[in-house]
Amino acid sequence: MTKKRMHDINDNFDINLSEISKVEGAASLEIKVRDKKIEDLKFYISEWKRFYTQAIQGKPFIAVPQLVARICGTCSNAHLLCSIKAIENALNITPSNQTMLLRKLLYFGLIIRDHALHLYVFSLPDIYKKNSILDFDENDLVQKQLLDDTFAVKEIGNQLSIIVGGRSVHAPMPTIGGFLKLPKLEDLKNLRPKLIEIRPRILKLIEIFSQSADTLTVKAPISFNGLYSEDFSFLNGIMKSTDGKVALGNELSKYIEAVLIPYSHARGFKLNGNLIMVGALARLNLTKEKLHPKTKIDVSKYLNLFPSKNIYHNNLAQSIEILHVIDLSIDIIDNLTQIIDEKPAKAKPKESTGVGVIEAPRGTLYHKYEIDNAGIIKKAEIIVPTGQNQILMERGIYEQTEKLLFENIDKEKITLEAEKLIRAFDPCMSCASHFLRVKWK
Amino acid sequence: MANKLKIGWFSFTCCEDSTIIFTELLNTHWKNWKNQIEFVHVKVLKKSPEIIPEMDIAFVEGAIAGDRQEQKLKDIRQKAKKLVAIGSCAVVGSPSNQRNFFNRSQLDEIRPILERFKYKEKVLKLSDIVKVDDVVNGCPMNEAVFLQIMDKLLNT
């Protein structure tokens, strides 16, 4: 039936994307196609390292949280809180109930802002076949409304983090043992109606991503991993995997296996030989029954889609998580009757090792520090979500490209689809590139 | 379109915190800026051309860690009427230049990476390489200073 075609340009081509757009940081993709087969494919993180694990060595523990916040602009408050948690665990400091509630509010502001940046600014233009959210047609009612939603939702997440943390990026107020300056109750109460106001905008966003026809189910076995907690609050829990493995969060570095990727500035990870996926899709796959009750009611028709192995459902899962943290934030604000004037708990140095594990917007984040008697960091290890997803990302692009070549899809469309898939993972290259494996004894 | 201010936003070695602040400033300022500016190369907002375009203003964040980055920065300088260094890494080099201050054992640990991926001997701030017309310091950038610069640009 099929005749061998001669000189078809679609049979032989190279894709070289030196800087993938609408992602955090710098990533590159190279695909070499010969005779309609993938001869070579490399997805790699092309950021230049800043060597944070080495830079932390020799620093007093008190300086570390604000330093490591600078690993990443967009998830800075995730690194900040994870670092604080690691040090508090090392020095046996238990934060007060008020501190934990305020940290949650700070964090939920991050989840709203960060997921909204990804969904509205990076991914929505793909669905509407636009280059940029700023190109949305303001004469089209639907598109104009989505542009308004973009700014309104991001701004509320931003404001929540500013009120609690003093700034939405590298928040200056959270510290080891508490807060350097506490937020005003009145400012939080004033934000409540604005949180209510963005709820319908998020329901619209959830509907859009639920309707997306984009699908990729990777054939290779995947372990979806994340912190599982009763309140789905991102900041605590035990490690769980969809293949049934359970561990304490502080065992993460033993639990997963680092894999060197020679052409990338970052390292990848596997679990029991399986590819790993962390992030919103993994969290929904593991913890959907722990979503806020109001969220569960409003998204019930979409929850049947989880557990899902469709990578593009990471977008849908993120949009559901925005609604969940809005509802959690409203509850916390409603239940706050006063802000007690607490001073941060005192931190006394001692020889110790501490681990902090949280769910960053893009998945499980792990900080481990070894501290000496004088409070100086001797060693540090940091494992970031994008590093854990990197091998699966490359595998996903490979399988998607193979499928599209089989369907005679051209180079331009294959390139576009590869970029869309990379964006669906919401990778953060700023985070992923800055660590070397530390050999613990 | 012809009279719009052509703006580029570029990131080198840093955490891209100022990019985040910039995208958040759009929440409240885009409606005032949209008729006056055109983003000609802003990777966080749109697919941007491989070849650096001519522009009125280049906002550049991050420090320079490799030779390819140095070449790209010189290209940006050539194409931009004005270049503004954004954030601490671009303006003073820190904290992205922390390896410049490593001791011998720290350097020994990172040397294989430096050699394999051809890192520069030292991480440089922008003004070590090109002429910088204006700066917005801070980690992340000071929003008020950035907005003052935008106001000045849009009103001249």
All structural domains of chain A with their residue ranges: 52-220+224-390+425-432
The fold of the A52-220+224-390+425-432 domain, in CATH, is Cytochrome-c3 Hydrogenase; chain B (1.10.645)
| Crossing angle between the packed helical segments A411-425 and A385-406, to the nearest 10 degrees | 150
| Crossing angle between the packed helical segments A280-287 and A313-335, to the nearest 10 degrees | 70
Cα separation of the two ends of chain A: 62
For residues A51 and B110, the answer to whether their CB atoms sit within 8 Å is yes
Question: For position A243, what pLDDT does the model report?
Answer: 81
Structure tokens at A133: 């959210």
Is B45 within 8 Å of A152 when comparing Cβ atoms?
no
Domain CATH number, residue B24: 3.40.50.700
| Residue in this structure with the two tokens 């950021």, named with its chain if needed | A47
Count chain A–chain B contacts defined by CB atoms under 8 A.
124
**Predicted ipTM?**
0.95
Structure tokens at A185: 């109750």
CB within 8 Å of B30: residues ≥ 6 apart:
A134, A151
Q: In chain A, whose CA is at the least distance from the CA of B62?
A: A48
Question: For position A3, what pLDDT does the model report?
Answer: 44
CA-to-CA separations, A186 to A50, A174, A189, A332, in angstroms, rounded: 40, 19, 5, 14
* CB of A149 less than 8 A from some CB of B: no
Nearest to A71 by CA among A117, A24, A118, A111: A24
CA-to-CA separations, A288 to A217, A219, A297, A303, B94, in angstroms, rounded: 20, 24, 12, 7, 42
* CB of B96 less than 8 A from some CB of A: yes
CA distance B112 to B90: 26
Share of chain B above pLDDT 90, in %: 88
CB within 8 Å of A71: residues ≥ 6 apart:
A50, A52, A79, A382, A384, A430, A431, A434, B15
- Tell me the per-residue pLDDT of B73-125, one tens digit each, with 9 for 90 and over: 999 999 999 999 999 999 999 999 999 999 999 999 899 889 888 899 999 99
CA-to-CA separations, B63 to A22, A390, B16, B90, B98, in angstroms, rounded: 21, 25, 11, 5, 11
Is the model's pLDDT at A76 over the cut of 90?
yes
Structure tokens at A273: 């030989």
pLDDT band of residue A191 (cuts 50, 70, 90) is very high
Domain, as residue range, for B146: 5-154
Structure tokens at A251: 């065992």
Q: What is the mean pLDDT of chain A?
A: 91
For residues A369 and A377, the answer to whether their CB atoms sit within 8 Å is yes
Per the model's pLDDT, the better-predicted residue between A18 and A249 turns out to be A18
Share of chain B above pLDDT 70, in %: 99
Instruction: Give contacts of B 47-66 with A, CB under 8 A.
Output: 47-48, 50, 65-66
Instruction: Give contacts of A 22-41 with B, CB under 8 A.
Output: 22, 24-26
My answer on whether omega of the bond before A174 falls inside 30° of 0, hence cis, is: no
Chain B residues with CB-CB distance to A152 below 8 A: 27
For residues B21 and B44, the answer to whether their CB atoms sit within 8 Å is no
Q: Which helix (H) or strand (E) segment is A108 a member of?
A: helix A97-116
Structure tokens at A180: 């350097």
- Tell me the per-residue pLDDT of A286-325, one tens digit each, with 9 for 90 and over: 999 999 999 999 999 999 999 999 999 999 999 999 999 9
Is B46 within 8 Å of A121 when comparing Cβ atoms?
no
The residues facing A310 across adjacent strands are A217
DSSP for B85-153, written as a single string: EEHHHHHT-TTTTGGGG--HHHHHHHHHHHHHTTEEEEEE-GGGTS---EEE-TTTT-HHHHHHHHHHH
- Tell me the per-residue pLDDT of A123-159, one tens digit each, with 9 for 90 and over: 999 999 999 999 999 999 999 999 999 999 999 999 9
CA distance A19 to B10: 12
Q: What is the mean pLDDT of chain B?
A: 95
pLDDT band of residue A220 (cuts 50, 70, 90) is confident
DSSP A168: S
Q: Is A91 helix (H, G, I), strand (E, B) or coil?
A: coil
Q: Which helix (H) or strand (E) segment is B37 a member of?
A: strand B37-42
For residues A433 and A25, the answer to whether their CB atoms sit within 8 Å is yes
Nearest to A206 by CA among A278, A130, A285, A120: A120
CA A417 from chain centre, in angstroms, equals: 21
Point out the least confidently predicted range of A81-85, A415-419, A435-439, B140-144: A435-439
Q: How many domains does chain B have?
A: 1
Point out the least confidently predicted range of A368-382, A421-435, B6-20: A421-435
Chain B residues with CB-CB distance to A50 below 8 A: 13, 65, 95-96, 98-99
For residues A394 and A189, the answer to whether their CB atoms sit within 8 Å is no
DSSP for A169-202, written as a single string: SS-SSEETTEESSPPPHHHHHHHHHHHHHHHHHH
